[in-house]
Chains A and B, each alone.
Chain A
Amino acid sequence: MNAIEVPRLRLAVLTLVLLAQGCATPTYYPPRGERLPPPVIEQGSQAPGEPRPPPVASVPQPTAPVVRPRSPAVVALLDTAEQQANSGDLEAAAASLERAIRIDPRNPVLWYHLATVRLAQGDAQAAEQFAAKSNSLAPGNTVQQSRNWQLIARARHAQQDEPGAAAAEQRARELAGR
């Protein structure tokens, strides 16, 4: 830790709000219907010049997003992470968040919190990467994206990258205004 401002971690305050939004992320999840009976047909080596069989199916096109149920396990781990962070045990908080990510790896909220913990530990580079990862999992979720960019601004500021920090802040404001 050096002169970096330590943000007070208010995970719980944000948790429920963000988790709800994180869950409504408009990524597209192809429908997961019943399994088809597997046609186990062994094909021999495809001889050169053999005509291609018709495609099995086309690449699924975008469909409506699936809203995932909120996992009590993930909420419980976020609670634990918050307690650990607030009692100063940041590495334990990171471990709890990683455990939550193991359960729900595409939840942008979890990656965002991991970024805040790393920033509080003074690892601004890691914080920026985790915030970017959160962004990549939160398309259309402008609230989460704005928070991520705010955090990136702080991380860049901590690395004396003032122009970068200003650009990130600008981005955060734009997203918040949408």
Chain B
Amino acid sequence: MARRRPRRRKRSHKPFPWIKLLLVLLLVLGGYIVWLDIRVTAQFTGKRWSLPARVYARPLNLYAGQELTPAQLAAELDALHYRPVRAVQHAGQYSRNREVFHIMTRPFTFWDGVEPARDLRVSFSGAAVAELADRGSGHALALARLDPVLVGSFYPAHNEDRVLLQLDEVPVGLTDALIAIEDRGFYQHHGIAPMAILRALWVDIRAGGVVQGGSTLTQQLVKNFFLTSERSLARKLNEAIMAVLLELHYSKDEILEAYLNEVYLAQDGNRSINGFGLASYFYFDRPLAELSVDQYALLVGLVKGPSYYNPWKHAERARARRNLVLDVMANLELIGRQDAARAKTQSLGVGPVGRKAINTFPAFLDLVRRQLQTDYRDEDITSEGLTIFTTLDPQVQWQLERVLAGRLDALERGRGMEHGTLEGAAVVTSVQDGEVLAMAGGRDSKFAGFNRALDAYRQVGSLIKPAVYLTALEQPESYTMATLLDDSPLTYTARNGDVWEPQNYDRQNHGQVPLYQALAHSYNISTARLGLTLGVDRVIDTLRRLGVEQKLRPYPSLLLGAVEMSPFQVTRMYQTFASGGFATPLRAITAVLASDKTPLQRYPLSVRAAIAPGPDHLITTALLYVVREGTGRAVYQVLPADRNVAGKTGTTDDLRDSWFAGFTGDRLGVVWVGRDDNQPTGLSGSTGALRVWRDLFAGFNDSGWTQTLIDDIEYRWIDPATGLLADAGCQDAVQLPFIKGSAPTESAPCMRGVGSLPEAVDWFKELFQ
């Protein structure tokens, strides 16, 4: 007894600790809810999604007089997924009647503001736009631009992708259908629908496991947003609490908008497609606003299970699901019975399954990314939702990809090489402003690996020679176009005793050669002798001015191109020649917008005078001779003879590397052909890279390179054999430019006083008076 008493007494005190425990539990639960609340609000209020940067091609400008073919416009519209229709009614549609297009453009926010949606009439005359007019008013328009082609995105590591939408951008029909199918009580409940849960619980108990959700849209959002897809009671409880919390803090519209952007709707390789905005592009190749009722009914149907209802793999299931959604919509009178019946007869309307690779031009995107990385951190590029406007011209890029692959195939076939032996890379820019129009990093243009245009450093061979000749021509008191250079055998002994004996490609010596011809025919010996006389260091100075940035060692072999450069580096050098002596940084990006479409940064055009106008005139004239008479003349087997092209071939020892760099009045192209293992290819610059270049430029309607006549240049007739003044008595006389006062004064022996040749620049003088 005595023992028991205290026990009893103790027992009578027992309720008190239980309450304590309960209080502690409540406190813990309260704390837990507070913690959940903080999580919910922090995630929801702050940045909700990491958005990949979107990269756009240049927008296609449309204006009267523009050089553009109807086929090119049609290709551009196709790349933008505009739909050809008979009568244009909505944005994103066009009709074509031979040479007349009607286009309803989509509005688009550019760096300099919004380009409004327009109703355009574009008529062609041959290969140019004849007239551009507003279809509503009939008035001529000076200029319009299409929305730009999306060429790629930079994803964060987890590869989640979406096109963010605001609620007012989503068709009301779609949200109505979504609510009708997924959560009819959405506007009434407070985050959870107890009746729905009970019903689901009943099903689960009967099935002996969790099979049905009964989740509200809010709960689904919470699940996607904060939780794993694990199915447990604890998770279910968390989900319910967080859903209620979310509803406490945010309006129905905010929750619905978040849901529309978050919901998982497809898988594309290792990229997950989230939200209706991107799903619309993924399934139908067009923005959500352009979908028809049957199409968004399919999207709504897919919410339940994107892979189970995959419209490509399980078309019948998808169709049945879509039709169920349409029936529900008709029952709720969201659409008319007839409309529903008609919509049910439509095909699924999904785009081709093969068109899912978003990064269409990996080599160019690689360049864009590198240029961005000088200004942005990696995580900003992949998560801040930047809009990046680039200089890519899809028309040029398509052409480049086609000809590079096609020509390398043909070269291999023609030489009995195994398919895949050769590789190639190329860069195309616009001559005056240095915009990169296209880039190929290899013959397989879809391969996002080794980018040879940027990273393949190969010997450039004769491509370097113009720097040697420019260095000479910048000293008009010593060198002119007509100066005779010595092409006789050369033996050079370096200070360390090394002996260098350069040979010509044809193993011949050509005696005394006028300077412009030595470059045109790419003679090694006369070039080496000239460079040694000038000094290797001076040639390196010239290369620096031309924009070559990499390390250069002052060995004599540099004069003949024993220097490794990437095609992009070579492009930088030739850009300076092409743009009239102005070094012009090669730009792939023009502007960047922040995720709210406000301007963030512009990448402006800049130029730096690198070559004085006089010497520039001389060196580009010499480069014209390369293509007219020298190693580049195979260009004119295909290009029209009246199109001036300036350029240079490059070939390295044992025919390992084949190069051609050439420009017209509009575009510069640099092409490299070789092998990844650096073995001989049997191709010279002329028989390899030039052929690719030629195929490419044959597809352009470029104007020829135009030589600008300037005050300090005068033209003289010259006898090439002697480099002296010529007259009508000299058979092979050529007209060459000279910096004023530097032309020869002595007459060639062939001059017989039979009368002077016409002064070709007379018309020019008149213009000054």
Contact = CB atoms under 8 A, between A and B. Distances in A.
B432 A75 contact: no
Central interface residue in B65, B140, B686, B761, by most chain A CB within 10 Å: B65
Interface in B633-657: 633-634, 636-644, 655
Interface string B386-421: 000000000000000000000000000010000000
Interface in B32-67: 61, 63-66
Contacts of B505: 48
A136 B687 contact: no
B433 A102 contact: yes
Contact of B711 (A59, A91, A133, A139): A139
B582 A76 contact: no
A139 to B, nearest CB: 5
B683 interface: yes
Contacts of A91: 602, 604
12 contacts: A27-B708, A49-B506, A55-B629, A59-B644, A60-B644, A61-B760, A73-B64, A76-B143, A91-B604, A102-B61, A102-B433, A133-B582
B507 A32 contact: no
Central interface residue in B140, B633, B711, B761, by most chain A CB within 10 Å: B633
Contact of B734 (A26, A43, A58, A64): A58
A20 interface: no
Interface string B563-578: 0000000000000000
A114 interface: yes
A154 B505 CA distance: 52
A45 B760 contact: no
A34 to B, nearest CB: 8
Interface in B85-134: 111-112
B65 A106 contact: no
A30 B580 contact: no
Contacts of A99: 61
A28 B707 contact: yes
Given A72-B64, A73-B63, A43 B687 contact: yes
Interface string A89-108: 00110111011011101100
Contacts of A103: 61, 63, 66
A77 interface: yes
A75 B111 CA distance: 20
B531 interface: no
A95 B63 contact: no
A44 interface: yes
A30 B634 contact: no
Contact of B708 (A56, A59, A139): A139
Given A43-B634, A136-B582, A178-B768, 17 more contacts: A28-B764, A30-B644, A38-B640, A43-B687, A48-B507, A56-B628, A56-B637, A59-B621, A59-B644, A61-B735, A62-B764, A72-B63, A73-B64, A73-B66, A91-B602, A136-B581, A137-B708
Nearest to B414: A42
Nearest to A35: B640
Which 9 A-B pairs have CB atoms at the shortest separation, nearest pair first?
A73-B63, A76-B142, A105-B432, A56-B636, A55-B629, A73-B143, A72-B142, A48-B506, A35-B640
A94 B634 contact: no
Given A26-B709, A49-B508, A105-B433, A126 B606 contact: yes
Contacts of A48: 505-508
B371 interface: no
A7 interface: no
B24 interface: no
Interface of A: 26-33, 35-36, 38-46, 48-50, 52-53, 55-62, 64-65, 69, 71-73, 75-77, 91-92, 94-96, 98-99, 101-103, 105-106, 114, 126, 129-130, 132-133, 135-137, 139-140, 142, 178
B432 A26 contact: no
A35 B683 CA distance: 29
A64 B760 CA distance: 10
Nearest to B63: A73
Given A36-B641, A59-B625, A106 B706 contact: yes
A39 B634 CA distance: 11
B609 interface: yes
B698 interface: yes
A26 B765 CA distance: 10
A105 to B, nearest CB: 4
B445 interface: no
B215 interface: no
A98 B624 CA distance: 28
Nearest to A136: B580
Nearest to A140: B767
Contacts of A106: 432, 665, 706
Interface residues of B, number: 76
Contacts of B665: 106
B609 A129 contact: yes
A30 B706 contact: yes
Given A75-B142, A98-B605, A55 B628 contact: yes
B18 interface: no
B287 interface: no
Given A40-B638, A56-B633, A136-B581, A62 B65 contact: no
A32 B761 contact: no
Contact of A41 (B637, B734, B760): B637
B213 interface: no
B707 to A, nearest CB: 7
B307 to A, nearest CB: 45
B591 A95 contact: yes
A135 to B, nearest CB: 8
B145 to A, nearest CB: 9
A151 B581 CA distance: 20
Contacts of B433: 98, 101-102, 105
Contacts of B707: 27-28
Interface in B745-764: 760-761, 763-764
Nearest to A142: B768
A86 to B, nearest CB: 15
Interface string B439-469: 0000000000000000000000000000000
B605 A101 contact: yes
Interface in B575-630: 580-582, 590-591, 602, 604-609, 613, 621, 624-625, 628-629
A49 to B, nearest CB: 6
B675 to A, nearest CB: 16
A45 B582 contact: no
Contact of B642 (A60, A61, A73): A60
Contacts of B608: 129
Contacts of A42: 414
Contact of B628 (A28, A39, A58, A130): A58
A53 to B, nearest CB: 8
Contacts of B581: 136
A88 to B, nearest CB: 15
Contacts of B65: 69, 71-73
B542 interface: no
